[in-house]
Amino acid sequence: MTNKVKVSNLGYPRIGKNREWKKTLEAFWAGKINEEEFRTEMTGIQLQHLKTQQEAGIDLIPVNDFTFYDHVLDTAVMFGIVPPRYAYDGGDIGLDLYFAMARGNAEATACEMTKWFNTNYHYIVPEIGAQTPRLTENKPLAAYRFAKSQAGIEGKPVVLGLYTFLKLSKGFASADIAKIAARFLPVYVQLLQELKHEGVSWVQIDEPAIVTGINESELSLLNSIYTEIAESVPGLNIILQTYFEAAEPLEALLKLPVQGLGLDFVHDGGTNLASIERLGWPEDKWLGAGIIDGRNIWRSDLDAKLQLIEKLSVHVPVDRLILQPSCSLLHVPVTVQGEVKLKATVKAALAFADEKLRELGLLAAALEGTGEAAAALTASREALTAFRALPERGRKDVAGQVLGLADLPDQRSLPFAERLKVQQEKWQLPLLPTTTIGSFPQTVEVRQARLKWRKGVWNQERYDGFVREQIADAITFQEKLGLDVLVHGEFERTDMVEFFGEKLDGYLFTTNGWVQSYGSRCVKPPVIYADIAFTQPMTIKESVYAQSLTSLPVKGMLTGPVTILNWSFVRDDLSREAVANQIALALRHEVKALEDAGIEMIQVDEPAIREGLPLKAEDHEAYLNWAVKSFRIATNHVKATTQIHTHMCYSEFNDMIDSISAMDADVISIETSRSHGELIVSFEEQEYDKGIGLGVYDIHSPRVPAVEEMTANIERALRVLDPEQFWINPDCGLKTRGWQETEGALRNMVKAAAIARENAGVSATK
């Protein structure tokens, strides 16, 4: 195979090598720079990202993948889709309104935020309603012009497809999606016509919603959308891009009037290749072959990738083959270059965004048969061989514990109804008990103290003393507010997964492996590179100290096995179920240690359990079965009087209620405030018999909601839930908030709880 194939990228990380993007955003929000300075800084970051890809030899460089907050929000704003509560009356949409939609302001709550498919990235949910879309600004066109004028790059504009945009939106009945699409289609056509008029050659239209499963009516809608585009914008090359799963039914998708189709050959379970081998490939279509993993950080087995390309080339003409990542590189850190603390064998096995681009270039060079490519392939092969041979990746003791899972009890000692009685007798909590999710503000002072400790400026004793002071203040703070169940505040924790990873065998940690979670919020996922094993207690010291300061119950705080899995970069040589079981066994030791130390209210958080849900409905049951099993492995051995709590981020509750109940937690809190109480509808349709707290206010926004607002949220929930099972709490941890807004919001929450108790008491006597 000597023909040169094209190399493309689907999207580049926004945050910058040293998180310059995040720092610029937060400086603007804090008033430290003005709008002109903000835009100048952002322009510089955007240009650097383009040049990096240009220097990597990428043929098709994406433009319009850069954003000030979120690409779905950008699409909504570009079409003038602004919820009525922001009092938008047309015209340009400035940064104040743009960021108000993302973060809320004093007058209006933020738009809902939820997970981008099954990733840890969050997008802002468009609220369409009765609004008539119009093109406020052609953002892809502006990005194309910028790349061409500033870097001489003939960019490939990236546009979120109309079908996926509507699937991700709210404010209309699902049955009306075709009618809504008809309202938007002229605006999409206008956008694409302007791109064609400018001389754009290729446009990448992202339609990941296709991989979640499509029925006949949805296929018909897709066909009508792309037929209209093809007829209205002839001559424009469109590659319809899917990712995260297999694109099915491929036979129907190949008939869509587009010039190319982008497929994920990493996370599709082999289905896309099998479909091509069965169906063949149209001679007049391009294939965007997503062969480098855009969601994980491991060096690729390039020999295996070359074999895959060889299989594809049997059916796809090489001159119509485009090599690319499986999805946007938004989901991985920028570069391994700065990871100087990792041992050489491990570092050589890593590939972040820049390294993945080089892998694509190397594959293209290898297809041409150059000598340099052969040497590079040998070096890559040797690096993987050395990494795979590390002894900690095949521990016999861990394998033995996993084999022993079959002998462990599968359920709690008593069913929930009986546990509830003994727990009520033990804890003597009031009706509608109040609590928080776990973390309190991580102030500059807290972060600086941790940094001094990590750098050795403070010794362990001094740092422990500082943490105890913070815990003592937090306990006093909560008692004064009148909360019923307290937390220690998690001041010793950088991150709810990293903290545990640092104390477990099998993890490694990067210096600069940051990825965007939402807005300017970046996380540095720990890396599971070997077998996971418990070594010593991880949370006892802080939990026991906090409990010694108060007569009120203090929850022990752990992160659950599925969340630790889903919020880590995970080794790719074992199934995710196998790794989850290793984590669960380690946490089982910690739960036992807490209980033995007298901490008998233990919260094992699983906020990420839904995001790991496979995108296709037929795969849900298998995942949920092992996810529930791993939670129970970690928690089901405690005494009947020990109360197990968990926390989950927003999910469509209807499709998971049985599995959530099967986790057998005594109390579950669910993030719901940004969904404006929509989750409550689920309880009108299905019964849930355990303790539950629906978050009564949104912690992702800096605004302090009024007592009346929270009271309304509580009353709405109590229309369908028994007051005996209802807990009152914020919808998530308070780590990212300031103390002033935290105090204001929690004070109002306690007042709202008192009002609700009084109302519930009156109702109960009638």
pLDDT at 745 over 90: yes
Question: What is the SS3 string spanning 697-731?
Answer: CCCCCCCCCCHHHHHHHHHHHHCCCCHHHEEECCC
Task: Provide the annotated binding site.
Answer: 19-22, 115, 437-439, 490, 521-522, 567, 605, 611, 647, 649, 671, 732
Listed residues 145, 174, 200: the one ending a domain: 200
Ramachandran angles phi, psi of 186, nearest 5°: -60, -35
Amino acid, res. 312: L
How would residue 467 be classed by pLDDT, with cut points 50, 70 and 90? very high
Start-to-end Cα distance in the chain: 82
pLDDT at 655 over 80: no
Listed residues 200, 234, 261: the one ending a domain: 200
Interval 184-228: pLDDT, tens: 999 999 999 999 999 999 999 999 999 999 999 999 999 999 999
pTM of the shown model: 0.89
Share of the chain above pLDDT 70, in %: 97
Task: Provide the annotated binding site for L-homocysteine.
Answer: 437-439, 490, 605
pLDDT at 310 over 80: yes
- Any idea which residue has 């239209």 for tokens? 205
Residues in the chain: 766
pLDDT at 636 over 90: yes
Interval 144-194: pLDDT, tens: 999 999 999 999 999 999 999 999 999 999 999 999 999 999 999 999 999
What's the token pair of residue 204?
């990448």
What's the token pair of residue 160?
């979120």
Listed residues 185, 200, 215: the one ending a domain: 200
* pLDDT at position 2: 46
* pLDDT at position 762: 54
> What is the helix (H) or strand (E) element at residue 677, kind and residue range?
none
Domain contains 364: no
* pLDDT at position 1: 41
DSSP assigned state of 204: E
* pLDDT at position 651: 55
Range 622-631 average pLDDT = 96
pLDDT at 585 over 80: yes
CA 335, chain centre distance (Å): 20
Phi-psi region of 331 (alpha: psi -120 to 50; beta: other; left: phi over 0): alpha
Range 132-151 average pLDDT = 97
How would residue 500 be classed by pLDDT, with cut points 50, 70 and 90? very high
Domain contains 533: yes
Domain contains 207: no
Report the CATH number that the domain containing residue 110 is assigned in CATH: 3.20.20.210
Concerning whether 49 is annotated as a catalytic residue, the answer is no
Q: pLDDT higher for 324 or 693?
A: 324
* pLDDT at position 522: 94
The answer to whether 14 and 66 have CB atoms below 8 angstroms apart is yes
**Cα 631 from Cα 612, distance rounded (Å):** 14
Q: Which domain holds residue 470?
A: 414-761
Closest CA to 258 of 285, 289, 298, 277: 285
How would residue 674 be classed by pLDDT, with cut points 50, 70 and 90? low
The answer to whether 429 and 483 have CB atoms below 8 angstroms apart is no
How many domains is the chain built from?
2
CA 509, chain centre distance (Å): 19
Q: Which of 71, 122, 488, 700 is the catalytic position?
A: 700
How would residue 764 be classed by pLDDT, with cut points 50, 70 and 90? very low
Phi-psi region of 171 (alpha: psi -120 to 50; beta: other; left: phi over 0): left
Domain contains 392: no
Preceding omega of 249 cis (within 30 degrees of 0):
yes
User: Can you name the residues that pair with 123 across neighbouring β-strands?
Assistant: 114
Share of the chain above pLDDT 90, in %: 85
What's the token pair of residue 226?
């792309």
* pLDDT at position 658: 86
Task: Provide the annotated binding site for Zn(2+).
Answer: 647, 649, 671, 732
330-334, 420-424, 652-656, range with the lowest pLDDT: 652-656
